[in-house]
A and B are shown apart, each in its own frame.
Chain A
Amino acid sequence: MMEQGKIGGVQLCMVMYPTIIATAILSLPSMAAEYAGRDMWITPIWAFIAGAASLLIAIQLNKMYPKATVIEYCESILGKVMGKALGFLYLFFYIHVSSLILKEYGNFIIGNFFIKTPMIVIVASFALLCAYTARGGIEVVARTASLVTPFAFILLMSVLILVTPELTPTNMLPMFEHGLMPSIRGSLSIHSWYSEFFIIAFLLPYMHNRDEGMKAGFFTLLAVMITLILVNLGALLLMGEETAHYIYPLIGVARTISVAGFFQHLESLIMVLWVAGTFVKLSMFLYACTLGASQWCGLPRYRIMALPVGLLVVILSQWGQPRLQELDHFFNTAVPYYLLTMQVVVPFLLLLAALMRRAAK
């Protein structure tokens, strides 16, 4: 076994929670509002399905192969050649998604706060930090997450609480005036975020106790859902349907906070919160990439792959067009299907194949 560390249920929560919501809270409200209008707050509830699906499938697969991660049991299920091919696909997928995260991070920071700084500095330094964490292994990832996540959570809740005086509750009404379809359509992109739960497949083999993992996973799913609902509500009740016209609604929300005339202009806190959350997310993803890469190549230790994988992700994130609109377009159209396929459909097929194999024995 390459990875010697073990984590507990609480740590699993701490890692998975920011992994899902870090990128979601930023642009989710506007994406949901675009299709769902006033019903955007309910979209996270529909998307629960995708999350539960990927979680359940990951758990089932882990039950069958308790000590293996995705890359490893691909081979066990599909045989050497197909398994390696699928493993490579997953590897590529995760590296690609990591680079997308990095790209979004860079765009956000540079677009809103550090306009003149070159993208490569921001992105590379951040990736270095996350690669260093991934290099330390699952325990370091989990420990840093346990320290960072509560802080980010408190910050997020404070922002949402402090903004309550400015909210107009009636912005929510009328509910479902066009039926349920708009909210379901708006939830499509959220489905894709939830499906990132599948990365738990890299964590489950290293748990002290798998039942704890299952409980923690569902608890996290619930927590994610509630958080997203609250964030959506915050944006909706403040800005109404205008939310769809802002690229990063949460910044607009933070801008209106003014407590006692003193705590104002706190949008940089959003940056703090977001950097913390994305740090955990990217560390987790880079860890998955590193572990996956070393397992695929059959290396005895994975530590050494951390920095090269990080470098690869940085370079990959700098490819493609530098326009924010391109990234947005990609997220709105192709990404939902891409993510859902790789993280729900394919695992489901894997599960079926594994079941068939077992039945055949």
Chain B
Amino acid sequence: MRVRPMLLKAGGVFVLLVLASCTLSGCWDRIEVNDLATITAVGIDQYSDNLIELSLQIYTPPQGSSISMQGGGSKGSSSQNQSTVISATGINFADAVSKVQEKVPRLLFWGQNEVFVFSHSAAKQDIAGHMDYILRVPQIRGSALVFVSRTKAKDVLALTPQLRSSSADVLEEVSNLKIGLAMSAGNFNIMLSSSKGTAIMPSIEIMPAPEGQPQKRYPAITGCAVFKDSKLAGYIDDNITRGVMWFRNEIDMATATIVTEDQGGIISARLNRGRTRLKPRISNGIWEMTVGIDTREILVQNTSNTDVAELKGTRIVEEGLKQEIEKRMNRTLQIVQKKFEADVFGFAEAFHRKYPKIWNKEKGNWEEIFPHVQVKYDIKTVIVNPGKRTVPTNRMEGEKG
């Protein structure tokens, strides 16, 4: 057909035009890695009553030629810090972000950010508002970790620690070790929304520098901050936090030390595996929670006369550990349940699951019920192995236990 070649030609020209316009007008979302300001940590301070100060820790790649043929990468050669901190104030998070962008010659890139640090005062003011920005903007990762700092967040960001490349890195890796609580923004928000503003977040402090290196101060996780009504209510220390982790079934690393009464001396055991189960019970209007704990422990140090290689000795130690754990948890309850009256353990969920009908009736009164929930313990500690040695090292030749 005569029409066909003409149509083909016209079509070809059209396609060419389209292609040209696509490529000539630039690719809209393309951005080079060098044109990005990679954010590695975010700090939120309260500047004044109605202004917040947003600080961004931005990665600065080493300038000049870092391409070496000798096989060393640019990263390996320097463990020196490669970030700068830029701050700006604004009415809220979104406003502050736009103000910071004005100060930075590259586009702010949130994709690699894993750390948010709220200062004490910012957390006291309004944590839920900040959470909204974090969880609403698509580029910001909801799985990033959140922390409360007792001092200014800006200072935390500006630290240049020794063992890692930036303070953000330190916080990330320490959270991974699970020594303290690790809370992501998404989970924090779930806690906030499902319990009307009660939540918990790890808190950090700036540790003093090691001897002789005054520049190398570093942040460390020292306990948790408790929130009520979406506002910072108070802090709990390291040990109490450990107790909270027991309740939440998040315990991973813990060392318990007991003093044996009859034999004298101290025995320490490290947790290998621990599991907590919450068993709620409502009877005659009394709300009870039995906390069932299963642990496996490994002995790490024995300076008493107890011979743990023998079953008798093991049983004694296990009993001691059991009581130690119970003590710790009671201490936690004292503070969190009685003083703060904050259900960060997940008791509400447990009751809801088991007694849905009663829960639905009473859930409005949970605030009053929670402080009076009676907690019982059902702890099983098992020492699976006594380490590499049997008898304590302080036992002399010929002595018997």
Residues of A whose CB lies within 8 Å of any CB of B are: 111-118, 121, 170, 173-174, 177, 239-242, 252, 255-256, 258, 265
Say whether B288 faces chain A, with CB atoms less than 8 Å apart.
Answer: no
Question: Which residues on A sit within 8 Å (CB–CB) of B29?
Answer: 113-117
Q: Number of A-B pairs whose CB atoms are under 8 Å? A: 42
Question: Which residues on A sit within 8 Å (CB–CB) of B354?
Answer: 174
Question: Which residues on A sit within 8 Å (CB–CB) of B190?
Answer: 239-240, 242
Say whether B353 faces chain A, with CB atoms less than 8 Å apart.
Answer: yes
Q: Supply 15 A–B pairs (Cβ within 8 Å), ascending by A.
A: A112-B138, A113-B29, A116-B28, A116-B29, A117-B28, A118-B28, A173-B353, A174-B356, A239-B190, A240-B194, A242-B186, A242-B189, A242-B193, A252-B186, A256-B186
Contact between B22 and A121, CB atoms less than 8 A apart? yes
Within 8 A of A (CB), among B85-120: 111
Question: Which of A113, A118, A121, A241: most chain B CB closer than 10 A?
Answer: A121
Assuming the contacts A114-B28, A239-B190, A242-B189, asked whether A252 and B352 have C-beta atoms less than 8 A apart, the reply is no
Q: Which residue of A lies closest to B349 (CB)?
A: A170
Q: Which residue of A lies closest to B190 (CB)?
A: A242
Q: Which residue of B lies closest to A121 (CB)?
A: B22
Q: Nearest Cβ distance between residue A261 and chain B, in whole angstroms? A: 8
Q: For the complex, give the distance between the alpha carbons of A241 and B354 in Å.
A: 18
Say whether B175 faces chain A, with CB atoms less than 8 Å apart.
Answer: no
Q: For the complex, give the distance between the alpha carbons of A242 and B111 in Å.
A: 22
Q: For the complex, give the distance between the alpha carbons of A121 and B357 in Å.
A: 53
Contact between B28 and A265, CB atoms less than 8 A apart? no
Say whether B242 faces chain A, with CB atoms less than 8 Å apart.
Answer: no
Contact between A177 and B360, CB atoms less than 8 A apart? yes
Q: For the complex, give the distance between the alpha carbons of A111 and B353 in Å.
A: 37
Q: 6 nearest interchain CB pairs?
A: A177-B356, A116-B28, A117-B28, A173-B353, A174-B356, A114-B29
Contact between A174 and B352, CB atoms less than 8 A apart? yes
Question: Which residues on B sit within 8 Å (CB–CB) of A239?
Answer: 186, 190
Question: How many residues of B are in contact with the other chain, CB < 8 A?
Answer: 20
Say whether B301 faces chain A, with CB atoms less than 8 Å apart.
Answer: no
Q: For the complex, give the distance between the alpha carbons of A115 and B30 in Å.
A: 10
Question: Which residues on B sit within 8 Å (CB–CB) of A252?
Answer: 142, 186
Say whether B257 faces chain A, with CB atoms less than 8 Å apart.
Answer: no
Q: For the complex, give the distance between the alpha carbons of A170 and B276 in Å.
A: 14
Q: Nearest Cβ distance between residue A280 and chain B, in whole angstroms? A: 25
Q: For the complex, give the distance between the alpha carbons of A256 and B184 in Å.
A: 10
Give per-residue flags for B234-266: 1 if the beta carbon is below 8 A from chain A beta carbons, else 0. Answer: 000000000000000000000000000000000
Q: For the complex, give the distance between the alpha carbons of A317 and B111 in Å.
A: 31
Q: For the complex, give the distance between the alpha carbons of A192 and B28 in Å.
A: 36
What 12 additional pairs, Cβ within 8 angstroms, besides A173-B353, A265-B141? A113-B29, A114-B29, A117-B28, A117-B29, A170-B353, A174-B354, A177-B360, A239-B190, A240-B194, A252-B142, A258-B143, A265-B111
Contact between B142 and A111, CB atoms less than 8 A apart? no
Q: Which residue of B lies closest to A170 (CB)?
A: B353
Contact between B194 and A255, CB atoms less than 8 A apart? no
Within 8 A of A (CB), among B271-298: none
Question: Which residues on A sit within 8 Å (CB–CB) of B360?
Answer: 177
Give per-residue flags for B184-214: 1 if the beta carbon is below 8 A from chain A beta carbons, else 0. Answer: 0010011001100000000000000000000
Q: Which residue of B lies closest to A118 (CB)?
A: B28
Question: Which residues on B sit within 8 Å (CB–CB) of A265?
Answer: 111, 141
Contact between A256 and B28, CB atoms less than 8 A apart? no
Question: Which residues on B sit within 8 Å (CB–CB) of A113?
Answer: 29
Q: For the complex, give the distance between the alpha carbons of A240 and B111 in Å.
A: 25
Question: Which residues on B sit within 8 Å (CB–CB) of A256?
Answer: 143, 186
Within 8 A of A (CB), among B107-164: 111, 138, 141-143
Question: Which residues on A sit within 8 Å (CB–CB) of B189?
Answer: 242
Question: Which residues on A sit within 8 Å (CB–CB) of B349?
Answer: 170
Give per-residue flags for B33-60: 1 if the beta carbon is below 8 A from chain A beta carbons, else 0. Answer: 0000000000000000000000000000
Q: For the complex, give the distance between the alpha carbons of A196 and B259 in Å.
A: 70
Q: Nearest Cβ distance between residue B248 and chain A, in whole angstroms? A: 11
Q: For the complex, give the distance between the alpha carbons of A111 and B138 in Å.
A: 8
Q: For the complex, give the distance between the alpha carbons of A121 and B349 in Å.
A: 48
Within 8 A of A (CB), among B334-371: 349, 352-354, 356-357, 360
Q: For the complex, give the distance between the alpha carbons of A170 and B357 in Å.
A: 17
Assuming the contacts A177-B356, A241-B194, asked whether A255 and B28 have C-beta atoms less than 8 A apart, the reply is no
Q: For the complex, give the distance between the alpha carbons of A258 and B356 in Å.
A: 34
Question: Which residues on A sit within 8 Å (CB–CB) of B28?
Answer: 114, 116-118
Q: For the complex, give the distance between the alpha carbons of A301 and B111 in Å.
A: 50
Q: Nearest Cβ distance between residue A22 and chain B, in whole angstroms? A: 20
Q: For the complex, give the distance between the alpha carbons of A177 and B356 in Å.
A: 6
Question: Which of B22, B143, B360: most chain A CB closer than 10 A?
Answer: B143
Q: For the complex, give the distance between the alpha carbons of A170 and B186 in Å.
A: 18
Q: For the complex, give the distance between the alpha carbons of A252 and B194 in Å.
A: 18
